[in-house]
Amino acid sequence: MDDECLFCQIASGKIASDIVYEDNDVVAFTDVSPGAPTHLLIVPRVHLASLNDTDTKDIELLGKMMRAAITLAKEHDLAEGGYRLVINTGKDAGQTVGHIHLHLLGGRSLSWPPG
Ligand code: AMP
Ligand code: ZN
């Protein structure tokens, strides 16, 4: 059995997904259970379990995730109408996959605060 986490395996291509963007550092793919017309996940190729496991050495990587999300938002015509970027961290935030991932949600009006 493979002990790599789900998103490590998606990032390396071992598990198929609908990849919409990739470079040396980050991979983005469509969320399998979309919560909005556009729902993408942007993940680092390296395994980091959550924001709690990042450090100052990861500042550039976190910025690259954010930049990829902004580029994807523009490509999906979300810039004008708006969109939301979310990183669920830990149990109370509902994090279900232990590999840091930035949600990009858009294409409909999003309520605030989230549940
Ligand atoms: P979170 O609840 O913030 O940990 O988000 C995890 C997200 O991963 C959820 O929105 C799931 O729908 C999504 N997800 C789980 N498995 C897959 C998969 N195999 N491919 C794409 N998205 C997935
Ligand atoms: Zn991982």
CATH of the domain at 26: 3.30.428.10
In a domain, 88, yes or no: yes
- Ligand 1 binding pocket mutation candidate from 9, 21, 29, 32 (most atoms within 8 A of CB): 32
- The mean pLDDT of the chain is 97
Following DSSP, what letter does each residue of the chain receive, concatenated?
---S-HHHHHHTTSS---EEEE-SSEEEEE-SS-SSSEEEEEEESS---SGGG--GGGHHHHHHHHHHHHHHHHHTT-TTT-EEEE---SGGGT--SSS--EEEEESS---SS--
Q: Is residue 21 one of the residues assigned to a domain?
A: yes
Residue 114 lies in a domain: no
Residue 36 included in any domain: yes
Structural domain span for residue 28: 6-106
Number of domain units in the chain: 1
Please tell me whether the overall predicted TM-score, pTM, comes out greater than 0.95 for this model: yes
Asked, for residue 1, whether it belongs to a domain, the answer is: no
Residue nearest to atom 13 of ligand 1 (CA): 31
Model pLDDT for residues 57-108, shown as the tens digit of each residue: 999 999 999 999 999 999 999 999 999 999 999 999 999 999 999 999 999 9
Task: Confirm whether 102 is domain-assigned.
Answer: yes
